[in-house]
């Protein structure tokens, strides 16, 4: 179970790294290619604008679904951690009660 959780966490970290790389490179590449195409009159500015708008929309929707997936994973992880802490708290209560009983028996 722990290996699966670590695997999921590693996947999310890898995905964050990929999103970060994409966020850095894609606008720069798009702008450079667009400027070259518009300056050389292969396409007009309006076409460039609508292509950019479409790519932005696709990126936004993809990122949104990825964010929802990641938040769901975080909620599940936090819930498991919370349950484990509650179990530990209950065990401490049992141990404390047992120690109190032993202390009372000694008196």
Q: What is the pLDDT along the chain (107 residues), one digit of tens a residue?
A: 566 667 777 888 888 899 899 889 999 999 999 999 999 999 999 999 999 999 999 999 999 998 998 898 888 888 888 888 888 888 888 888 888 888 888 76
Query: Cα-Cα-Cα-Cα dihedral of 48, 51, 52, 57, to 10°?
Result: 160
At 10 the pLDDT is: 84
User: Which residues are CB-neighbours of 70 under 8 A, at least 6 positions away?
Assistant: 12, 15
User: What interhelical angle do 45-106 and 2-39 show, nearest 10?
Assistant: 160
**Do 39 and 86 form a contact (C-beta atoms < 8 A)?**
no
At 90 the pLDDT is: 87
């Amino acid at each position: 179970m722990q290996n699966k959780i670590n695997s999921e966490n590693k996947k999310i970290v890898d995905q964050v790294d990929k999103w970060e790389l994409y966020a850095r490179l894609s606008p720069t590449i798009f702008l450079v290619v667009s400027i070259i195409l518009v300056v050389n009159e292969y396409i007009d500015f309006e076409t460039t604008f609508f292509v950019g708008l479409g790519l932005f929309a696709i990126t936004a929707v993809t990122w949104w679904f990825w964010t929802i997936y990641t938040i769901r994973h975080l909620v599940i992880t936090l819930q498991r951690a919370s349950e484990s802490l509650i179990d530990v708290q209950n065990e401490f209560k049992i141990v404390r009660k047992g120690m109190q009983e032993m202390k009372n028996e000694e008196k």
